[in-house]
């Protein structure tokens, strides 16, 4: 009987990084088949311009996601800042279940809050303003109504602009805000938080209303390193792939 739950994020799959796709497919066809569940906490893809895009490696990834869910392993997904346009069509065709941006699960008896992590970076005011705009129904309908080729070109331009904008920002601004962490965990009545986004894998101890808590930051997948957070009834391990 499956006895472990897997957490990953920030794979940033793209045709330019086939080795990351191969690592992910190996996970889907191997260890994940024996898991109780797989949680992907955002940015599985480096960009997402609509569920009608079939650019490599989307078709292959979708086929393997569907195969895994059909054999019995549920896959849960929280949108990232790069692939927040993933919609119900992709969910149906891949078999994944889309979760809210903040979702609480029962992880072996402990309520655990899951999120991608970008909402926690509240010091980055320009990004948070863009996030509000880009998550509006009007903005998304406008973008998705454009021809696919225009959306592909826009995504490439956005990636380039994002690269140069990040070079101008301090690392502290792009990291999580500690007061926001405490406030969000208090709101959702949890003492455990798992997220990605910052690419700063670590386990942080903290206090939530005088209660001991922990924050788990998932790693970005790279050519030279990739890891998963593994939970069982006896605790957790962080394992390299």
DSSP code string of the chain: ----EEEE----B-TT-HHHHHHHHHHHHTGGGGSSEEEE-S-SBS----TT---TTHHHHHHHHHHHHHTT--EEE---SSSTT--HHHHHHH--EE--SSEEEEETTEEEEE--SGGG-TT-HHHHHHHHHHTSHHHHHHHHTS-HHHHHHHHHHHHHHHHHHHHHS-TTTTSPPHHHHHHHHHHTT-SEEEE-SS---EEEEEEETTEEEEEEEPPPP-SS--EEEEEETTEEEEEE-
| 123-141 confidence digits (pLDDT tens) | 999 999 999 999 999 999 9
204 DSSP β-pair partners: 215
Name which CATH class applies to 5-240. alpha beta
Calculate what percentage of the chain has a pLDDT beyond 70. Answer: 94
Asked if 166 contacts 197 with a C-beta cutoff of 8 angstroms, the reply is no
Q: Name the nearest CA neighbour of 79 among 96, 92, 64.
A: 96
The count of other CB atoms within 10 Å of the CB of residue 154 is: 14
Q: Please write down the HEC assignment for all residues of 219-237.
A: CCCCCCCCEEEEEECCEEE
| 149-183 confidence digits (pLDDT tens) | 999 888 887 776 666 565 555 566 679 999 999 99
Q: Say whether pLDDT at 1 is over 60.
A: no
Looking at every residue in the chain, the average pLDDT score rounds to 94
Domain ranges of the chain: 5-240
Q: Say whether pLDDT at 85 is over 70.
A: yes
Burial (0-12, 13-18, 19+ Cβ within 10 Å), 142: exposed
| 50-64 confidence digits (pLDDT tens) | 999 999 999 999 999
- Least confident interval from 75-89, 157-171, 175-189, 194-208: 157-171
**pLDDT on residue 158:** 76
**pLDDT on residue 142:** 96
């Amino acid at each position: 009987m499956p006895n472990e739950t897997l957490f990953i994020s920030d794979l940033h799959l793209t045709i330019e990084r086939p080795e990351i796709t191969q690592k992910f497919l190996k996970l889907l066809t191997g260890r994940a088949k024996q898991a109780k569940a797989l949680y992907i906490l955002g940015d599985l893809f480096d960009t997402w311009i609509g569920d009608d895009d079939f650019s490599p490696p989307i078709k292959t990834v979708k086929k393997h996601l569907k195969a895994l869910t059909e054999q019995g392993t549920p896959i849960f997904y929280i949108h990232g800042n790069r692939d927040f346009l993933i919609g119900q069509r992709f969910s149906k065709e891949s078999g994944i279940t889309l979760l809210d941006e903040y979702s609480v699960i029962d992880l072996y008896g402990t309520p655990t809050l899951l999120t991608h992590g970008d909402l926690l970076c509240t010091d980055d005011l320009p990004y948070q303003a863009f996030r509000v705009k880009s998550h509006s129904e009007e903005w998304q309908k406008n973008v998705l109504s454009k021809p696919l080729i225009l959306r592909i070109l826009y995504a490439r331009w956005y990636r380039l602009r994002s690269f140069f904008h990040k070079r101008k920002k301090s690392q502290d601004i792009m990291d999580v805000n500690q007061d926001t962490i405490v406030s969000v965990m208090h709101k959702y009545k949890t003492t455990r938080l798992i997220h990605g986004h910052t690419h700063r894998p670590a386990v942080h101890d903290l206090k939530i209303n005088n209660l001991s808590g922990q924050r788990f930051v998932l790693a970005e997948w790279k050519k030279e390193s990739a890891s998963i957070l593994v939970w069982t009834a006896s605790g957790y391990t962080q394992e390299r792939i």
